[in-house]
Amino acid sequence: MSWSGIAEAMLDVQLITTAAAVTFWCLTVAGIAVLVARRSRRWGVVGIPGAIAVTLVLLGLAALLIEKVWRPFPDPLPLAVYWWAATGVLAVVLLIGRWPFRLRDRPRVPVAVGLVVAASAVVAAAAGHINLVFDAYPTVRSALGMSEFRTVPLADAQVRTATTVTGTPLSAQWTPPAEMPSSGAVVRTPIPAATSGFPAREARIYLPPAYFTDPRPELPVLVLLAGQPGSPDDWLVGGRLTQTMDAFAAQHDGLAPVVVVADGTGGQFANPLCMDSRLGNAASYLTVDVPTWVKQNLQIDEDPRAWAIGGLSYGGTCALQLATVRPDVYPTFLDISGQAEPTLGDRTRTVQEAFGGDDAAFARNNPADLLAHKRYPDSAGAFVVGLDDREYRAGVEQLTAAARAAGMDVHLTELPGGHTFSLWSAALEKEMPWLSRRLGLIS
């Protein structure tokens, strides 16, 4: 898709998002109005202020637990998340608070049902607004966990053909057979951590239509990483991976990279910093275990020049880390909305928890430090960030300049939007032509 096409698609998404936001606002206002409406002076003087006070206390305790004690995220949650979470909690508190004021009244089932419906509508609208902050679930089906793509067992992917098609660019040597499927498929499988011992969750592997042919083209590989918190499923749901790759394959005779969405964290809220440290051997898992398993189980191009690593947010940070620590494994990278450096919140805490206070050990894994002291003439990468991404944009711009100064062939793309899945999915779509040329897939 052209740049104008991507811009139009993002505009369509923005219009849909705006319509959804207006709908959620209307539901919220209507629901709260129903919950607070009552012809009782005591309810207005005591009940409503009391509900607001309880909500503020609960929200304050939750924020303290999340931001200061638990700290599952490297950055503070957006204020919009807290605002809409508070709205949902307020609806529930108002619903519960209504009953003590109704003890003297005769119970009326229609009123009770109406109050429950109103509170449920507010909670649903609040959840919808929070989803809009990140665009994690683009459809109702995805929010319900219903797959929107074809799946096949690993055994089907492990079958090797007697003959293969090779060459650079691969598209010049390839003629799609008539029996080639019209879409790719996804395999769900664990990738054992034989060397690293890293507690990785199941990977998701996208295989393009051309993979299911005989002879089979030896396709390049993109190892893709999700954010933190997150899971490999995020790229298939909010990241719209299968739609993007199928669309690209449809324009290139079924050809597209094999995409291995590996687990780079080991848990929904875990943050091993994509390093080998006290927090786990995430780097060894992604640079040793994953490539070894892929080469043993899938029929792909094993040349490192045909391999890339990419990711969003934490995954983008991780991609640049591995491209600077192990350029022999991943000489090509895609950093989408990555951080300025790996972090658990601040440099002091990060160095202490990961390396026991050893600053030099951290520097050996920090892209900014490596780019300042090493040269990478054989590496190339794409940086992408949202124009409205206040937390990450400056860091991405600085790292782009540092990578270029270190001899890398890099470019920076800034797209409309913030730190959301709609931007990340658009970023992958935008960079697919460059990435495929770099990996020798197309000319």
Q: Give the pLDDT confidence of 277-286 residue by residue, as tens digits.
A: 999 999 999 9
Q: Tell me the pLDDT tens digit for each residue of 214-234.
A: 999 999 999 999 999 999 999
Helix (H) / strand (E) element for 217: namely: strand 216-217
What is the H or E stretch that residue 386 is in?
A: strand 380-386
Express as a percent the part of the chain with pLDDT over 90.
69
Strand partners, 335: 311, 383
Q: What's domain 149-438's superfamily in CATH? A: Alpha/Beta hydrolase fold, catalytic domain (3.40.50.1820)
DSSP symbol at 151: B
Sequence letter at residue 190: P
Per residue in 99-156, pLDDT (tens digit) is: 765 555 555 677 788 888 988 988 988 888 787 776 666 666 656 555 678 999 999 9
Per-residue model confidence (pLDDT) at position 58: 92
Question: E-strand spans in 272-373?
Answer: 276-277, 280-281, 307-312, 332-336
Q: Which of 184, 183, 211, 169 is nearest to 436 (CA)?
A: 169
* pLDDT value for 180: 97
The sheet that has 307-312: what strands, in order across it?
185-189, 203-207, 258-261, 221-225, 307-312, 332-336, 380-386, 409-415
Look up the pTM and report it. 0.84
Q: Report pLDDT digits (tens) over 14-57.
A: 545 566 677 878 888 888 888 888 777 788 888 899 999 999 99
Nearest to 225 by CA among 253, 203, 251: 203
Beta strands in 295-359 (DSSP E): 307-312, 332-336
Q: What is the pLDDT of residues 292-346, one digit of tens each?
A: 999 999 999 999 999 999 999 999 999 999 999 999 999 999 999 999 999 998 8
- Give residue limits of the domains in the chain: 3-134, 149-438
370-388 confidence digits (pLDDT tens): 999 999 999 999 999 999 9
